[in-house]
């Protein structure tokens, strides 16, 4: 499998069922809308992963969330979705699950303070009964790291 086996495009309403299924399978809520949602589509134009960007009132972009269908993990889909969002929105911030932190480490992200995370994004963790197990970590990609990657 290589990059040519998926392409990125804006999400459409017809993608909803798969997007919601991928989110649900990760214990995530369904998306409030398809605004700023990009999918990676396979050769049949079906989504195999998606990223949603949330913008706060200052225009700071947060990944919320990125999910790749299990059978497509490890083939560069997640990296392609995040790098495409970086090209459109500049600095991205996010709350990583402990299990996905190695992915963000590989992309040059660094831990940051919770105060840098939009409340609407960090709220997802507040009061979550799986918080200790999940090990959420606030992260961002500083400009210097962006130039190095
Ligand atoms: C995290 C996730 C999006 C990664 O997607 P992916 O398509 O498998 O990632 P990629 O293949 O693009 O990997 C990009 C880099 O991260 C590294 N990486 C990805 N997952 C990793 C892991 N679990 N451990 C170590 N490295 C990892 C890859 O080795 C790769 O490094 P390289 O480009 O230097 O070779 C995917 O595993 C997923 O959907 N997880 C469940 C949902 C989730 O936790 N989302 C993040 C919370 S918002």
Tokens standing for residue 18: 């798969």
In the structure, what pLDDT confidence band is assigned to residue 126 with cuts at 50, 70 and 90? Answer: confident
Residue 106 confidence (pLDDT) above 90: yes
C-alpha 103 to ligand 1 mean position (Å): 4
How is residue 87 written in tokens?
Answer: 């090209």
Q: How far is the CA of 41 from the centre of ligand 1 (A)?
A: 17
Which domains, from first to last, does the chain contain? 3-148 (3.40.630.30)
- pLDDT tier, 37 (very low <50, low <70, confident <90, very high otherwise): very high
Cβ 109 vs Cβ 117: under 8 Å: no
- pLDDT bin (cut points 50, 70, 90) of residue 58 is confident
Quote the pTM value. 0.93
Does the CB atom of residue 137 touch ligand 1 within 6 A?
A: no
* Beta strand pairing call for 61-68 and 92-96: parallel
Pocket lining: 106 vs ligand 1, CB cutoff 6 Å: yes
Q: Is pLDDT at 110 greater than 70 in this prediction?
A: yes
The rounded Å distance from CA 56 to ligand 1 centre is: 25
Report which of 67, 64, 81, 82 is spatially closest to residue 118, judged by C-alpha positions: 64
Q: Are 95 and 117 in contact (CB under 8 A)?
A: yes
Contact 61, 93 (CB under 8 A): yes
Instruction: Determine which helix (DSSP H) or strand (DSSP E) holds 17, and give its type and residue range.
Output: helix 16-25
Residue 34 host element (H or E) = none
Q: Would you state the structure tokens that stand for residue 72, as one six-digit string?
A: 């497509």
C-alpha dist (Å) from residue 36 to 29, 50, 65, 72, 113: 16, 10, 11, 22, 25
Contact 140, 91 (CB under 8 A): yes
Categorize the per-residue pLDDT at 135 as very low, low, confident or very high, splitting at 50, 70 and 90.
Answer: very high
Distance 35 CA to ligand 1 centre (A): 23
Is the CB–ligand 1 distance for residue 26 below 6 Å? yes
In the predicted structure, residue 149 carries a pLDDT above the cut 60: no
**74 in contact with ligand 1, CB cutoff 6 A:** yes
């Amino acid at each position: 499998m290589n990059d040519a086996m998926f392409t990125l495009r804006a999400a459409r309403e017809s993608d909803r069922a798969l997007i919601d299924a991928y989110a649900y399978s990760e214990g995530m809520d369904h998306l409030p809308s398809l605004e700023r949602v990009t999918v990676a589509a396979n050769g049949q134009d079906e989504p195999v992963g998606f990223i949603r960007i949330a913008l706060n009132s200052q225009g700071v972009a947060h990944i919320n969330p990125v999910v790749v269908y299990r059978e497509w993990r490890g083939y560069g889909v997640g990296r392609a979705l995040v790098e495409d969002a970086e090209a459109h929105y500049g600095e991205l911030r996010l709350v990583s699950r402990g299990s996905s932190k190695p992915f963000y480490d590989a992309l040059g992200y660094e831990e940051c303070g919770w105060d840098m995370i939009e409340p609407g994004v960090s709220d997802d963790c507040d009061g979550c009964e799986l918080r200790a197990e999940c090990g959420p970590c606030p992260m961002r990609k500083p400009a210097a790291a962006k130039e190095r990657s």
